[in-house]
Structure 1
Amino acid sequence: MHLDQGLVDAAVELTDRRWPAGEPGGAAAVRLADGGILTSVGLDNLHGSAALCQETGAFIQAYTQDRAVVASACVCRDLERGRVLILPPCGICQERLALWGPGVEVAVPRADDPTKWEPRTLAEVHPYYWGRQFADGEWPGTGLHAG
C-alpha cells in the first residue's frame, strides 16, 4: 500500500505551516512511485473561480517532473468542531488522477468518523470513468490522455 498515515500527516503538517491555528485551510500530499512525497495547497483567491483544488499543485509538479503518482490524500480544517477532515478527491481531481491509472490510491473519510481515512483505488471511487469509452472499455493509458 502506498497510502499510509505518513502521507496524511504530510498534508496536515503543510496545513499547519501554511495557516495559523484557528484559520481555515487545508493541504494535500501525493506519494510518487519512487517513494517521494509532494505537497500543495489551494490558492486563496478573492474571486472563487480562480481557486484551485489543494491537490492540483502536487499533481502538476509530478506531471512536470515525469513522475508517477501512486497515492493522494487531502485534508482540511473543520474550525467549528476543532478537527481535521479527510476529503476524498472531487470529480475534477479524480479526472486529474486518471492520468496515472485506476490503481492510484486515495484517502476517503471513514463513514463512522470523517477525521479517519481508509484507502480506495481510483477505480473504486470512479467506477464509470468516461475515458474507457475511448480505449475499448479499458482504462486509457497516458498516451491517450496526453493526446
Structure 2
Amino acid sequence: MKLDQTLVDAAIAQMDRRWPGRAEAGAAAVYLDDGQILTSVCFDNLNAGVTLCHEVGAYCQAYTLDRRVTASVCVNRIAGRLTVLAPCGICQERLALWGPGVEVAVAAPDEPGGWQARTLAEVNPYYWGRQFAEGGGWPSAEVHTG
C-alpha cells in the first residue's frame, strides 16, 4: 500500500484517542503489504532514556506478524499545531529491514501541516548498510537479520 491521507488520518485518530484534547501529543501508523493499518504511540515516562519513538510498536507488531511495512507516518501535535515528522535516524534503520521502497511521510516545505511521501532511499540516499550487500545494493532482509 502507498502512503496516503488514510494512513495519516489513522495516525491522527490514534493520537486523538490516546491523548484527547492534549495540546502536545503524537502517534504513528504503518501500512502492511496486505493493506492492514497498524498504529502505535510512544511511552510517556519520567526517564526519557526508556521512551521509544511513536512508530516502534507498529514496527514490532509488523515484524511479529511476519508482514512487510510498505509505508509509515508519524504525526505530532505541538502547541495545538499538527505536524508530520520524518522518521528519525533510528527509525530509518528499523525501516531498512523492509527495503529502500518503503514510503515515509515528511513535512511539506512551506505548507504548515502538509506532508509528502518519499521513499526510504530518497530520505537516506547514502545508507551505510549498502556496504554489506552484494554490488552495493540495498541489503536484503536476510542480511539485516543475520
Judge same fold: TM > 0.5, yes or no: yes
Aligned partners of 2:42 and 2:51 also within 8 Å: yes
Instruction: Give RMSD over aligned pairs.
Output: 0.9
Normalising to structure 2: TM-score of the pair? Answer: 0.96
Residue identity in the other structure for 2:97:
L
* Post-superposition offset of 1:83: 1.8
Aligned partners of 1:86 and 1:117 also within 8 Å: yes
* Post-superposition offset of 1:25: 1.0
Aligned partners of 1:27 and 1:74 also within 8 Å: yes
Unmatched 5+ residue regions in structure 2?
A: none
- Taking the TM superposition and a 5 Å limit, the aligned residue runs for 1:38-117 are 38-79=38-79, 82-117=80-115
How many corresponding residue pairs?
Answer: 145
Distance 1:42 1:94 in 2: 16
Spell out structure 1 runs of 4+ moving beyond 4 A: none
SS in structure 1 at match of 2:54: coil
- Taking the TM superposition and a 5 Å limit, the aligned residue runs for 1:30-41 are 30-41=30-41
* Post-superposition offset of 1:35: 0.4
Residue identity in the other structure for 2:95:
L
SS in structure 2 at match of 1:67: coil
* Post-superposition offset of 1:78: 1.5
SS in structure 2 at match of 1:113: coil
Alignment of 1:138 onto 2:137: yes
Distance 1:22 1:139 in 2: 40
Distance 1:23 1:105 in 2: 28
Identity within the alignment, %: 64
